[in-house]
Structure 1
């Protein structure tokens, strides 16, 4: 550790205070409310995750709600906020919110896939670390639908030597990764559709490029 937990917490407090100051100076009540909701969503997402660890009955919809709170809410608020400041119609700003939401969900699913398909060196953390902590993501939820044995391993909280590695192998071998890839692409396609509210331009192409780049991470 370079500075320790205390300094890390203080740095987080400073960044939160700084962001609150910038938020107060936006001088647009709609955007202020939008970003304030994101702060609330972050906390809600962490609570949802903490309350569902090692829960093999978690459904895909619950996972998507948690992913929205933790990731997609921020991106959705950012894209809608930019649209509002650009002075577009409310119908366009709503579509831009949906664009950010779908991009964020696709991004989170891709991240959760990489937790199984990349090495510890590539990830900067041990592979399967979310699963090890009991955080069941899209690949695991899909794999649970096909392999009952996986439930037993997860509910044991990996108490036996090699059980985590066995669970990871099951997720990979029974289609969990492929179904999660399809989900990421489904959300990406929706994000591209949301951009139809914008005229063809370099800016729209850049937004489409963000969606495509995200999917390229799992190609």
Structure 2
């Protein structure tokens, strides 16, 4: 749908833009429904104490503060981030498409998002770069003065906000609450009290996700 929207913007085709935005909105709502399935199939303590360990990387990890030495590959230790949703080109492409300027989320958040692009396949990185140089959908929607198109745009942004808000809910249940419970039991890391509640990508998880979500919400267009 993204190439279709870009072509529609270039051709000033409001109807095609609207229909494509509504389709993306529908996909985002469906993605949230799928995300909600985690509560049914994944136990929070199992995720935090078992699965999450294998998702963590060597960047921002106090247990490997000097990085990890890949013997026979490099002569010096390397610091790589663990798995992160920010490594998904889907969400970064939606931000670019909708004109959500995540640079406003703060310098550290923007730096992290840019760094996570280096973990994407080269073709995905190239797609994001090309998308950034395409005509602005947001400006097109604003200048159109088309209420239906603006509503479709806002619906798409709101669906992305909703997904990111739910991400925060899941983080609270699957990471922050188990981390607090672990600390109460005296099992928290001696090196860093909050190390267990950081993202597997090495971020200050809750603050990062809140900043990204809030910046997305600010992209909503106000009624004329």
Same fold (TM over 0.5): no
Task: Give the structure, 1 or 2, with the largest relative contact order (CA under 8 Å, sep 6 or more).
Answer: 2
TM-score where L is the length of structure 1: 0.32
